[in-house]
Chain A
Amino acid sequence: MSKEIREHWDSRTAFILAAIGSAVGLGNIWRFPYIVYKYGGGAFIIPFLVALLTAGIPLLILEFSLGHKTNKAAPGAFAFFNTKLKWIGWAAVFIGMGIVTYYTAIMSWSMIYFVKSFSLGWGTGTENFFFNNVLQLSESPSHIGYIVPVIFIGIILTWIWIYFSIIKGAKSVGKVVYITVICPWIILLILIVRGVTLPGAMNGLAYLFTPNFTALMDPEVWINAYSQVFFSISIGFGIMIAYGSFLPKKADIVNSAFIIGLADAATSLLASVAIFSALGHLALKKGADVANVVTSGPGLAFVTYPEIINLFPIGAPILGALFFAMLLTFGIDSAFSLVEAFSAAAVEKWNISRAKMNGIIGIIGIILGIIFTTQSGLYWLDIVDHYLAVYGLILIGIFECLAVGYIIKPEVIRNYANEQSDFPIGKWWDFMIKFFVPIVLIAIMIWNIWAEIANPYGGYSRSALLVGIGALVISFALGILLSINKKRTV
């Protein structure tokens, strides 16, 4: 165990901003609006908020309580109750680390676009620019091709940014987030004002928010609401356990979890207004239906939105730069929180300095990230993301709930959280952790596997998908391996 005195957040605001920064990421901007549109429009807000209150916030309370009670990062927190549970914590932080290796590639693309914004350097053929000029995309995952130098430089710069953001753990993160969380919110508000004042904006918003209440009868809508909440609030990677462990002894857990969960949801809703008002304008200019211009994921950020930026009547380069600055700042705190969760656990285990550990993590991260800077990088990113961020997160969520629900006992955690909080949680929380959340997660898992059997993910070959499964298996295997080392206690 580390002999260093554990660092703490400078203030409650710093903790809340750091946790919001971790939760709010690119998914809020490029996934949530599309999911709302696809699954019932405005009616989707009902299952989404229900999922947030019945699963998202209860899991946030669980992770914060584990970290705060034990004063440890994820592996040590589980080991505190039962050493046989330690592997859950290690697997969680390894999955998080796997995600950072490709997240940095997305950050790198955003950096390229940020620079290009000032001259609208993507031109009028935004699709061609993204796939052929930036990614230089090969024809399939097996055609790896060469490393694209500018993307590689971008991931190095991102790792340097991460390194300095977490250089002093909670102390530096607590300062950085005042900029990297508040600035993108301000930019988002600017983009909303710009978006809703564009011709055609209301048409886009009508497309998004007009409710289709019959969709609420469809289980797929509810599964997607719960999935969106799980994937959005950074649970299952050990981040919130580490962040909870940096709280001073006298700190609130329950109220903070509500603020963080609600802020993540509010940011998603704000992003939906910014994106769909702009899509409405694009549809008007193209003389097309809004449904024909709707996209999600990298296609939205790097193909469709640049096309919209080209159409802004005034200040297009500045608004373009603001959009990509928003992606970079929303993205960086998610990235460094994943690294911090691993780093905090690794420092506890190997008892070496944080700076040295972060340097080692950065070098390994750059090496592992090389595959995502190649011409086939987008394919591999998509495949690895599907297995680590979807299946990995679901599995860790299930194991966390089962560990707390049946081994640690939920009342132990609930009583602890209530002692620490502005307002208490009732026994409903025990039911959620013991039964409801694991059942929902298992349902999401079965749903995904079922879909996968019918159609291999993304139309990729089964051998390519095996690599993604391999990344998931390796994360769990490393977690278990580190847990059976009996020389150390953490």
Chain B
Amino acid sequence: MPISAWIMMSTGFTITIGGIIVCVIIANKKK
């Protein structure tokens, strides 16, 4: 798989799953 494909796939997962993790951390801090 070309490096550009790896980068796009990783970007998608980083933003979505990373975003969820950040939101969950914020939610737990506000408890």
A-to-B contact residues, CB < 8 Å: 12, 41-43, 45, 49, 202, 205-206, 208-211, 252, 255, 258-259, 262-263, 265-266, 269, 273, 422-423
- How many residues from B make CB contacts under 8 Å with A? 21
A67, chain B: closest CB distance, angstroms: 19
Q: Is the CB of B15 within 8 A of A49?
A: yes
Q: 0/1 per residue, B1-31, Cβ < 8 Å to A?
A: 1101111110111011101100110110010
Q: Is the CB of A266 within 8 A of B6?
A: no
Pick from A12, A41, A255, A423: contact of B8, CB under 8 Å: A41
Pick from B1, B8, B23: contact of A202, CB under 8 Å: B1
B-to-A contact residues, CB < 8 Å: 1-2, 4-9, 11-13, 15-17, 19-20, 23-24, 26-27, 30
Pick from B11, B17, B23, B24: contact of A45, CB under 8 Å: B11
Q: Is the CB of B15 within 8 A of A43?
A: no
Q: Is the CB of B27 within 8 A of A210?
A: no
Q: Is the CB of A209 within 8 A of B23?
A: no
B3 to chain A: closest residue by CB: A210
B19, chain A: closest CB distance, angstroms: 4
Q: Is the CB of A269 within 8 A of B12?
A: yes
Residues of B within 8 A of A263 (CB): 16, 20
The 5 A-B pairs at the shortest CB distance, nearest first, are namely A42-B8, A209-B5, A266-B16, A206-B1, A45-B12
Residues of A within 8 A of B16 (CB): 49, 262-263, 265-266, 269
Residues of B within 8 A of A258 (CB): 19, 23
Main DSSP-derived SS at the B contact region: helix
Main DSSP-derived SS at the A contact region: helix
Complex: A208 Cα to B8 Cα, angstroms: 10
Q: Is the CB of A205 within 8 A of B1?
A: yes
Complex: A249 Cα to B19 Cα, angstroms: 26
Residues of B within 8 A of A202 (CB): 1
B14, chain A: closest CB distance, angstroms: 10
Pick from A42, A262, A422: contact of B20, CB under 8 Å: A262
**If A49-B15, A258-B19, A266-B16 touch, does A422 touch B27 (CB 8 Å cutoff)?**
yes
Pick from A41, A252, A273: contact of B27, CB under 8 Å: A252
Complex: A258 Cα to B19 Cα, angstroms: 8
Q: Is the CB of A255 within 8 A of B1?
A: no
Residues of B within 8 A of A45 (CB): 8-9, 11-12
Q: Is the CB of B5 within 8 A of A205?
A: yes
30 contacts between A and B (CB under 8 A): A42-B8, A42-B9, A42-B12, A45-B8, A49-B16, A205-B9, A206-B1, A206-B2, A208-B5, A209-B8, A209-B9, A210-B4, A211-B4, A211-B5, A252-B27, A252-B30, A255-B23, A255-B26, A259-B24, A262-B16, A262-B19, A262-B20, A263-B16, A263-B20, A265-B16, A266-B16, A266-B20, A269-B9, A273-B9, A422-B27
